[in-house]
A = this chain, B = another copy of it.
Amino acid sequence: MANTFRILISTDNHVGYLEDDQIRGKDSFQSFEEVLLLAKQYNVDFILLGGDLFHHSQPSLYCLREVMGLIRQHLFGDKPCEFNICSDQSINFPSRFQRGCNVYDPNLNISIPIFTIHGNHDDPVGQGNLSAMDLLASVGCANYFGRSHDLNDIKVYPILMQKGDTKLALYGLGNVRDERLHHAWRDGSVSFIRPDSSDQDDQERRQSQEWLDHAFNMFVLHQNRVRHGPTSYIPEEFLDEFLDFVLWGHEHDCRIDPEPRDGKDICQPGSSIATSLAEGEALPKHVGLLEITGKDYSLQKIRLSTVRPFQYTAVALSQVDELRSAVGDAKACQRYLYSVVEDLIGRAEREWEEQQEEGENREDRTMPLPLIRIRVDYSGGFDAFNVVVFGKKFVSRVANPRDILKFHRQRTNIAGENATTRRQRQQQILNDPTSSVPERLDNVRVETLVDEILGRNLEVLPENEMQDVVQKLIDKDDKNAVSSFIKQSVLRMKRSIDGDQRSNIDNLSDQYVKRRATELKQDRFDMYAREQTSRNSRRRARQQRDAMDMNDNDNDE
């Protein structure tokens, strides 16, 4: 073992997800603790996380206390560190209060250090532009790396580690908006720094060459792997050829078995908690034990045993034999769907047993209420009905009784429309004063809103970045996002203009920004953003949807 790195890999722990929920509130904390316990049990050299450790960019006191406390409880201790770091740690970990790896802090006893990048959920925000990872680093709970400060010139510096004869170069890149990173990468603005053998004396040159020849090159990133649009993902082909192993965070589906691509292997562990009831989240959840010796590695996948069972299925009512003659008979459909739920609950029980047996961290756990989701296609004359009333039957048996069913229908007239007509339709919805705001918002994307509201006369503020900022305002509730963005944009514009002109521009642009800011505020912008973030509107929107789903003939209990 003296030459073998043992690394526990995990990603997207989303700690704090639904922390206020009476039933599911503890889920994310339990699975995170299981990850830490596994690291201890397998006596690993370190834990490597792929981002989104926290679900919220500004976690609650409760969430911070749990995460820091659990790390302190399980990962602090006397176990000696068996590897060296030979790269410049002040470049690797530029945190304000911790300029080196925490294992080297003489005032802390760290048994198992955590190395992590930030994800899109816990990315830098607010005063000081800090990630929750910065906070973990400042108290010595984690080593935060891979943050890029200049998106026009992204340099990825490796952490160079050595254990016995094995050399590991660990590269990381915290989440950047996909479109922007895609463009930067395509334009050649992303570079992986490799040990340099020029400009050095003989011994240094020999050492660098040795690193270049013998190191195991690993990269961790947190981006879309699935193509969501022409540039809103990172194609696997972008990844440098010299890499041996890529840990892909952000995608929640567990595809932890390494997939070979052009000489490197891609490993996507997936999340340790389901944050949506999508099909991919129903795959069994794993973390990995990665062992690296020289240029070889092996990966053992470890099933998480604390994860709340989740069973998913899709049903097309028109394809169900026993419902052939039941079009319009809501009761018959409900009876059928009850039986599907029963079946899924049974499967969830078997899944739970399985994961208790497979899981390494055995305890005598009671099975928690399972998550159940049926995607119901009701095309062909069937009627949707109230899903909340339907779920009442399962209140004490399912964790999500209110949204077991998800109705959808193939709408031929809409499925066939092209981008222009879709845009026109969205525009109509926006302009329709009779529809309520949440309803309108459900039908349009943020980008469309920004286009509609700001897409005129944007001379100073770059439109695509404006979209980012609005997204940030909505997703992170980051109230300073807009003002700091405006300041930065103006500053950037000022820098691009030379001396003499500048003082005129200063006045002009200040006035412009003031005017624009006022317009922004008093324009519909404010109303939309606030409405969308407020829980009330979400609740109302849900109620409306429920009402829409409710069949007039609904005779249910």
Spell out A's residues near B (CB within 8 Å).
19-20, 58, 60-65, 68-70, 72-73, 76-78, 96-98, 106-110, 125-128, 130-132, 134-135, 138-141, 480
Contacts and interface: CB of A to CB of B under 8 A. Distances in A.
A68 B140 CA distance: 10
Given A61-B126, A69-B98, 10 more contacts: A20-B480, A58-B61, A61-B134, A69-B138, A70-B97, A76-B108, A106-B109, A108-B109, A139-B139, A139-B141
Nearest to A127: B62
Enumerate the 3 nearest inter-chain pairs by beta-carbon distance, A residue then B residue, closest first: A69-B97, A107-B109, A62-B128
A107 B110 CA distance: 8
Given A68-B139, A139-B72, A480-B20, A61 B132 contact: yes
Nearest to A521: B536
A200 to B, nearest CB: 34
A138 B97 contact: no
A123 B61 CA distance: 12
Contacts of A69: 96-98, 138-139
A138 B68 contact: yes
B130 A61 contact: yes
A352 B158 CA distance: 48
Nearest to A122: B61
A135 B141 CA distance: 13
A135 B66 CA distance: 9
B126 A62 contact: yes
Contacts of A63: 127
Contacts of A139: 68-69, 72, 139, 141
Contact of A65 (B62, B68, B134): B134
A73 B96 CA distance: 10
A29 to B, nearest CB: 11
A217 to B, nearest CB: 32
Given A76-B107, A107-B108, A140-B72, A97 B135 contact: no
A64 B109 contact: no
Nearest to A76: B107
Contacts of A132: 61
A96 B70 CA distance: 10
A125 B61 CA distance: 9
